């Protein structure tokens, strides 16, 4: 037997992260009965597939919600629409409701009755009604040779047509999503509620304990949770915010277990993971390590340094920029740790070996060679083009500049208003909208910080990109401002209608197209937008080739190994992952236990460090050791580890035991396995969960909001 054939057999046996082990996979719940149910039941599941996902009866999926159309996940835990998610998922809302006088980020917030719950502007909660395989409907006739348009264009037309049909029939929001890189398609029906209110949030000394230092790390002692409530109209349907609305009566809500966990216990997570790239090639690994991650780290670090300086100046600025800083820090650290993990775990080598065996398998058949023979070469060529033209690098810079400089993003958002002014449309609704948005924007806007970020972004842009992606604005800065970004920024913030609440209100009182289109911030925003479009158009030149190669590569992998269950990459649709409670050994002589306790909170306490400052009341409670029904043999469990396969978007997902009961809330992954969006590592990948008993201890004993526990249904009662 030759070495090449041995390599193929080895790949088929191991899968190199592309095919599922017991703990790996983000599975579509509608397919559990076909693919996973036997394995799950052998591991400890006591439920039937219909109790997890059904369109004919209330089930677990009816309690799992997408926050903001997939930014985070939450779960319904009472018959009155009470919802639990992560503190960091509610962080922006908590910060938005905070003032120097009422600092809910520092002190926490608890509504002691429903009338005290705080509306959250812009927050949405979406329930999945059903999911359906529509592959045959989407791809029927798609290979028609008489249609000379691209395959992607034909698919897009079919999807648009199907969406309209399904929307008319169902009356729900419809999404049709590609799975397995265009080899299958699923339709999703959603019902979205936008009257969502803040019920309770622990202080940051609980909900963000450990701060950015502990982020992505284990051991962890963070009570990363908050409570929201979903409201409906009197008819139980979505309604605009109103005092007449009532707490939602859901189809299903999760019962809560106080039994706790031990190592080896079965558990599962349902949620809305955002994005993975498990079928990324070795060429993609190189590009991520050499281009994408370094760019992301550089730009986010630069903005973080500036924000931190201003946040340290006053509590008002700390609150204004807390959410922005947390977002930047989270993804900056993720990129850093991802690069480290990709190198340490030799993911490139694994991918390369898989590709070599795939190419060898392809070469063994003329039919396969005809269909798949050029796939990897096409991939390689695309990545060479991307590296050479720097279009995707430019796109990152443009996004970080246009969205990272607040005044530019604010100005960009008024483009539709300009169209209405030019067309002579009625402006009543638009002006009311912008007045409402302005009240929120200017409350968290600081000219000096924004100006400094603008100048830093402009400088980095020039230093790291070819001039073909320079916005026309740079020519203006060179000619009229002696090539000084600082002089330009001073003039912009002095003259722009977007620079202050007063100037913007004056414009809204007498809006004209001439005033808006000639505004320096509006001109700057649209200059960057034009460059962004150029970068996008450049990428479109090879995107079709890349997409087709990706589709064929995945199709070939599935044909190569027909005995394996392949799962689609995450794309913010409902998924289920299952595994067990388990410790891990991340390095030589390092062994981590599977759970942490309140003892570790007191050990980490540092009053001089905001990240590790434990609230005084909590210290008193923990030292007293009166944990009641939330304790176990004299200790209070805080967090534990599982082998679940999750990613961003799963934040706030419920951790559910084999009986379908809530035992924890997922909130993080571990740094040693930060390559997990690309490859699941069976030895290292862990999900960090906050034990529901610690959550309830905080609600009951710390916050004194035990009345909320009366809404819950406890297992065995």
- Show which residues are catalytic: 88, 224, 651
Exposure string of 131-144, with b = 16+ CB inside 10 Å and e = fewer, is beebbebbbeeeee
> Are 463 and 299 a contacting pair, CB within 8 Å?
no
As a whole number of angstroms, the distance between CA 22 and CA 577 comes to 10
What does DSSP assign to residue 569? P
> Which segments within 202-293 are labelled E, that is strand?
226-232, 246-247, 266-271
Tokens of 292: 């994408």
Q: Is 642 helix (H, G, I), strand (E, B) or coil?
A: strand
Nearest to 206 by CA among 224, 230, 182: 224
Which own/partner pairs from 304-313 qualify as long-range (CB within 8 Å, at least 24 positions apart)? 304/328, 304/329, 304/332, 306/449, 306/452, 306/453, 306/456, 307/449, 307/453, 310/446, 310/448, 310/449
| Contact status, residue 507 vs residue 522, Cβ threshold 8 Å | no
* Region at 676 (left for phi over 0; alpha for psi -120 to 50; beta for the rest): alpha
Query: How distant, in Å, are the alpha carbons of 4, 135, 136, 529, 565 from that of 183?
Result: 28, 8, 10, 33, 14
Nearest 5°: phi and psi at 46?
A: -105, 0
CA distance 254 to 665: 12
Backbone angles phi, psi at 545, to 5 degrees: -65, -40
Cα separation, 660 vs 44, whole angstroms: 11
């Amino acid at each position: 037997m030759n070495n090449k054939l041995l390599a193929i057999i080895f790949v088929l046996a191991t899968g190199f992260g592309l095919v599922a082990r017991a703990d790996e996979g983000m599975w579509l719940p509608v397919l559990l009965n076909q693919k996973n149910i036997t394995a799950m039941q052998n591991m400890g599941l006591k439920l039937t597939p219909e109790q997890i996902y059904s369109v004919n009866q209330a089930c677990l999926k009816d309690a799992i919600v997408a926050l903001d159309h997939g930014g985070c996940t939450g779960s319904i835990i009472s018959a009155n629409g009470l919802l639990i998610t992560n503190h960091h998922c509610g962080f922006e809302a908590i910060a938005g409701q905070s003032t120097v006088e009422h600092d809910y980020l520092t002190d926490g917030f608890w509504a002691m009755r429903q009338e005290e719950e705080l509306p959250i502007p812009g927050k949405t909660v979406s329930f999945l009604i059903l999911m359906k395989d529509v592959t045959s409907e989407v791809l029927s006739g798609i290979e028609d040779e008489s249609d000379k348009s691209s395959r992607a264009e034909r698919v897009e037309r079919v999807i648009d047509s199907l969406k309209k049909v399904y929307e008319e029939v169902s009356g729900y929001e419809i999404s049709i999503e590609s799975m397995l890189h265009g080899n299958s398609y699923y339709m999703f029906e959603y019902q979205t509620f936008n009257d969502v209110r803040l019920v309770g949030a622990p202080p940051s000394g609980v909900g963000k304990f450990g701060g950015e230092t502990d982020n992505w790390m284990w051991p962890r002692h963070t009570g990363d949770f908050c409570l929201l409530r979903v409201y409906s109209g009197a008819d139980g349907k979505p309604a605009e915010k109103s005092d007449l609305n009532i707490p939602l009566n859901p189809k299903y809500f999760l019962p809560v277990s106080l039994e706790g966990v031990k190592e080896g216990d079965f558990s599962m997570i349902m949620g809305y993971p955002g994005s993975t790239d498990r079928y990324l090639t070795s060429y993609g690994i190189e590009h991520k390590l050499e281009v994408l991650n370094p760019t992301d780290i550089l730009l986010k670090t630069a903005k973080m340094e500036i924000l931190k300086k201003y946040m340290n100046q006053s509590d008002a600025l700390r609150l204004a920029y807390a959410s922005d800083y947390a977002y930047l820090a989270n993804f900056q650290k993720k990129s850093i740790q991802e690069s480290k993990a990709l190198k340490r775990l030799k993911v490139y080598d694994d991918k390369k070996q898989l590709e070599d065996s795939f190419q060898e398998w392809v070469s063994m058949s003329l039919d396969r060679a005809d269909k798949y023979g050029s796939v990897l070469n096409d991939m390689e060529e695309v990545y060479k083009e991307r590296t050479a033209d720097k279009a995707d690098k430019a796109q990152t810079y443009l996004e970080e500049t246009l969205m990272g400089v607040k005044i530019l993003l604010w100005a960009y958002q008024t483009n539709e208003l300009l169209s209405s002014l030019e067309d002579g449309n009625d402006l009543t609704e638009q002006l009311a909208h912008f007045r409402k948005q302005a009240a929120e924007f200017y409350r968290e806007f600081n000219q000096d910080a924004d100006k400094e970020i603008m100048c830093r972004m402009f400088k980095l842009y020039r230093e790291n990109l070819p001039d073909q992606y320079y916005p026309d604005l740079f020519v203006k800065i060179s000619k009229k401002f002696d090539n000084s970004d600082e002089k330009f920024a001073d003039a912009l913030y002095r003259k722009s209608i977007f620079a202050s609440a007063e100037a913007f209100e004056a414009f809204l009182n007498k809006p004209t197209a001439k005033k808006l289109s000639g505004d320096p911030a509006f001109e700057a925003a649209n200059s960057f937008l034009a460059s962004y479009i150029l970068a996008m158009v450049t990428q479109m030149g090879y995107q079709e080739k890349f997409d087709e190669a990706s589709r064929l590569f995945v199709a070939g992998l599935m044909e190569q190994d027909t005995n394996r269950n392949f799962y689609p990459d995450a794309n913010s649709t409902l998924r289920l992952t299952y595994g067990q409670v388990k410790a891990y050994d991340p390095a030589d002589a390092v062994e981590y236990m599977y759970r942490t306790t309140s003892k570790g909170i007191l050990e980490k306490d540092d009053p001089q460090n905001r990240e590790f400052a434990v609230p005084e009341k909590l210290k008193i409670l923990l030292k007293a050791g009166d944990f009641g029904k939330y304790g176990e043999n004299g200790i209070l469990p805080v967090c534990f580890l599982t082998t679940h396969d999750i990613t961003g978007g799963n934040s706030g997902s419920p951790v559910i035991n084999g009986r379908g009961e809530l035992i924890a809330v997922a909130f993080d992954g571990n740094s040693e396995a930060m390559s997990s969006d690309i490859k699941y590592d069976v030895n290292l990948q862990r999900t960090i969960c906050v034990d529901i008993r610690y959550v309830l201890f905080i609600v009951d004993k710390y916050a004194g909001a035990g009345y909320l526990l009366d809404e819950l249904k406890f297992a065995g009662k």
